[in-house]
Amino acid sequence: MLSYRHAFHAGNHADILKHSLLVNLLETLNSKDKSYTVFDSHAGSGIYSLEDDRSLKTNEALNGILSLLPEMDEIDFPDSLSNYYKITSLYKRHKTYPGSIEFERIFIRPDCAHIISELNNAEIDGLKENVSHEPLVIINNCKKAVKTQVHHRDGFETVISMSPPQIKRGMCLIDPSYEEKDDYKKTSQAVIKLHTKWNVGIIAVWYPLLAHRAIKIEQMKNDIIAHAKAQNENTSIMDARLLINTEDSHVETELKDNEGPPRLYGSGMLVLNCPWKIDEKTSTNLSYISKKIYKKNKTSYEVKMY
């Protein structure tokens, strides 16, 4: 199935977790004057309108980025969120929210490699159009965007077949839609293959928190962690989660009657080869974010290191 469209969810709580962490990882890569590679396995269309009918239908951005940014205007926020705030504020003025690949294009230097993949026919044309234009801002000390390689194919196949990359320093963002129950197993298998071929790369895996998939989610994470530790017990692994409600807050109902707490009660990021101090920055970020969004819910966060 390829029915998932991120336009319905752009700027929600999961994007805030994923992209605030992504920004900190890109900042870390840019902190050294060395080239690097960035893979993005499930690119989507890259930029999303906050006034699109799909966005307005779910209104997920309303409790996400649209509730966070006004708070950051008025109250001191962590330095580790500074670039995320700067970028999202700028795109909001254009009534849009940047996807992962747009954040990547903002940071990645022209001497680096940016390789992205999208299989969905409904997304690929918009993606190619968006990467043909310069980002609204560039934060890479070069004032010029990287040339992005766009692949219209399965994201897992792309990153595995092209690993290890020619420039071995770098990272891969893996962010599938998890539409099918088998996707958790497919993701763990893909991450294990990728890490086996490219064990020095930072691999950041986004995952949903869904009560009815709890066992599969934990198995996926456990398989990835066990593999990484078996290869090298000193592998630094971070598991960060932002929860907008409790696991038992959602009650399964018929879709037409489902007006209670959201099924997705949070999301997480599992990061292999997690850079030094990223866990501290992530804890600081999520401590702040969790106080500013979904204020009527039992919002919380967790950051663990393995």
CATH at 113: 3.40.50.150
The DSSP call for residue 274 is P
Residue located via tokens 């159009």: 129
Is 300 within 8 Å of 96 (Cβ atoms)? no
Is 101 within 8 Å of 137 (Cβ atoms)? no
Calculate the alpha carbon distances from 259 to 58, 214, 254 in Å: 11, 22, 10
| 1: number of Cβ within 10 Å | 7
Is 1 inside a domain boundary?
no
Q: How many domains in the chain?
A: 1
Length of the chain: 306
- Residue range(s) defining the domain that contains residue 203: 6-250+265-305
Helix axes 100-107 and 13-30, enclosed angle (nearest 10)? 20
Per-residue pLDDT of the chain (306 residues), as tens digits, is 455 567 667 889 999 999 999 999 999 999 999 999 999 999 999 999 888 767 557 678 888 899 999 988 777 899 999 999 999 999 999 999 999 999 999 999 999 999 999 998 888 999 999 999 999 999 998 889 999 999 999 999 999 999 999 999 999 999 998 988 899 999 999 999 999 999 999 999 999 999 989 999 999 999 999 999 999 999 999 999 999 988 877 555 444 444 544 578 999 999 999 999 999 999 999 999 999 998 878 899 999 999
Is 224 inside a domain boundary?
yes
One-letter amino acid of 2: L
| pTM confidence score | 0.93
- CA separation for the pair 95, 244 (Å, rounded): 24
Is 255 inside a domain boundary?
no
Is 139 inside a domain boundary?
yes
Take residue 244 and report the two structure tokens written for it.
Answer: 């907008």
